[in-house]
Amino acid sequence: MRTRNRGAAGSRVAQGVFAGLMVPQVLSFIRVGFPADEQGRARGFYGMTFPIGGLAGPLLGGLLTQAGLFGWGWRTVFLVNVPIAVVVPLAAALYPLVQGRELGWPLWTAGAMVAGIALLGVFALQPLPVCLLLPAGTRLSRTSSATAGPARPGSGAGS
């Protein structure tokens, strides 16, 4: 495994570990945040999201791939992250404006606004990944120069 792939694999492992750590947090929120008579319903909705996500992910990925937007092929699945990357920092910047006045402008409101604006700036300044800029069917050789067309046996990453 090349160094570049180890970093991606390590990132996926970290993503899975931290996603697994969130499960008990959500269940404890249901336990503490809902009255006893509503906890069963809340757990039902929580349990319902897993199969919906399991179905929606591949369906949305397939739709985006088949749409062939911008000639990116399978790379269009990364477009799913764009609304999240815009909405979360925007919400972090705007939520304190909605709640700040009622709460007497605690310190966290200023911190959330600054962090939200900074995150939007970081997102806006990020260059597109190289894989999104290359036309579909382009392969990168070991020397990282782009070559058009299908990879030849013995000339690509698998050799």
pLDDT tens, residue by residue, 48-59:
988 898 898 889
CA 14 – CA 7 distance, rounded (Å): 10
Give percent above pLDDT 90 in the chain: 13
Of 91 and 153, the one with more pLDDT: 91
pLDDT for the residue numbered 137: 61
Helix/strand/coil for 9: helix
Q: Would the pLDDT of 120 be above 80? A: yes
Task: Name the phi and psi angles at 50, rounded to 5.
Answer: -65, -50
Distance (Å) of CA 47 to CA 24, 26, 27, 31, 43: 13, 11, 10, 14, 6
Q: Is the pLDDT reported for residue 127 higher than 90?
A: no
